[in-house]
Structure 1
């Protein structure tokens, strides 16, 4: 198991970074939103890595801190969640947003990430919420019970905000930061109004 790699950043690709150390270049897959946090080419950089070896796959997934690496490791323990889905979630939301959504059972937030369906998002919340709650020191009484939202209005709200010129990431973060109870929201309009207030 390769836990971390420290070396010179020699290249950045979509969803990947290349680190050279000891004369060897390593292609490390990363969440797409991590690219903006990387230093300039030629800088020294340390990635905390998760090494996956399977019959059909061998890859290194890299993160800038132990917490993000640990979250990735937890996500892929959920049945039906592979590295691709875990990376999609981490590419669209900050660490705090993901952990909060899981602990509070807000599966709609996770389901709005590309390639992550409603059932998968609900499974993530069910299987990981207690593990994360213990890690974060949250009492069971403080956790909101997950209530599946069959209307999928979060996805509709994201699409509506995108038509107003916001990126998918900005739209999702605005919805999350609006503090609206997504499971009780009665309409797309209600979510949009609350989200726009969060964007001001």
Structure 2
């Protein structure tokens, strides 16, 4: 696999760049956060890469630093997130901002990224939370859950319980019975289900 390339930057046409490495031109797909940090065309550049081999294509994805590549690799492990969507996510927010959004349970902000629907955003928050312990949130970003998000978390948890087959009144009572201070949607659901099952 190709893990790193160094060469002359020949073209920049978002999201693709062309890097000449000893006479071979590599087409590399890069997130906008990497594109902004690249030198001018004609200058030498070094990129960390992730090589995707599929039945119908081979694609090379490039990143300016280790944390961007590591997050890309974690993102494509999430069910329903392929390389294209992972690239879109990393184009819309940098690593620190993404970490802060996930740790805050802010699925609503993730939905604003192109191609990220409500279910995908919720899946990202749930599946990525444990994987982000080694990443740094954006400087100054609070990982404490704002009051507005707590209300949203409670209503989302209620909707999830209703989708599981509980009556709206049961779902509302179960969520209200949980001490939801600082809890994210999945924790609210988990505690509410435990409380209902133990009754």
1:118 is aligned to 118
2:3 is aligned to 3
Cα distance in 1 between the residues matched to 2:106 and 2:136: 18
Cα distance in 1 between the residues matched to 2:108 and 2:6: 37
Cα distance in 1 between the residues matched to 2:116 and 2:7: 33
2:101 is aligned to 101
Following TM superposition, by how much is the alpha carbon of 1:148 offset from its aligned partner in structure 2, in angstroms?
A: 7.5
* Paired residue total: 148
Please identify the structure whose Cα radius of gyration is greater: 2
1:157 is aligned to none
Following TM superposition, by how much is the alpha carbon of 1:34 offset from its aligned partner in structure 2, in angstroms?
A: 3.0
Following TM superposition, by how much is the alpha carbon of 1:128 offset from its aligned partner in structure 2, in angstroms?
A: 1.0
2:25 is aligned to 25
2:64 is aligned to 64
Cα distance in 2 between the residues matched to 1:136 and 1:33: 17
User: Do the aligned partners of residues 112 and 137 (structure 1) sit closer, same or farther apart at CA in structure 2, a change above 3 Å counting?
Assistant: closer
1:147 is aligned to 153
Cα distance in 1 between the residues matched to 2:91 and 2:131: 22
**Any gaps of 5 or more consecutive residues in structure 2?**
138-142, 157-183, 185-199
Following TM superposition, by how much is the alpha carbon of 1:136 offset from its aligned partner in structure 2, in angstroms?
A: 3.8
User: Do the aligned partners of residues 25 and 103 (structure 1) sit closer, same or farther apart at CA in structure 2, a change above 3 Å counting?
Assistant: same
Following TM superposition, by how much is the alpha carbon of 1:103 offset from its aligned partner in structure 2, in angstroms?
A: 1.9
- Cα deviation, 1:7-56, whole Å, max 9, x if unaligned, reads 11011112011111121000000113433221111111001101101113
- Cα deviation, 1:162-198, whole Å, max 9, x if unaligned, reads xxxxxxxxxxxxxxxxxxxxx9xxxxxxxxxxxxxxx
**Pairing 1:1-200 to 2, within 5 Å after superposition:** 1-133=1-133, 135-136=134-135, 144=145, 147=153
Following TM superposition, by how much is the alpha carbon of 1:59 offset from its aligned partner in structure 2, in angstroms?
A: 0.2
Provide the secondary structure at the position in 2 that maps to 1:37.
coil
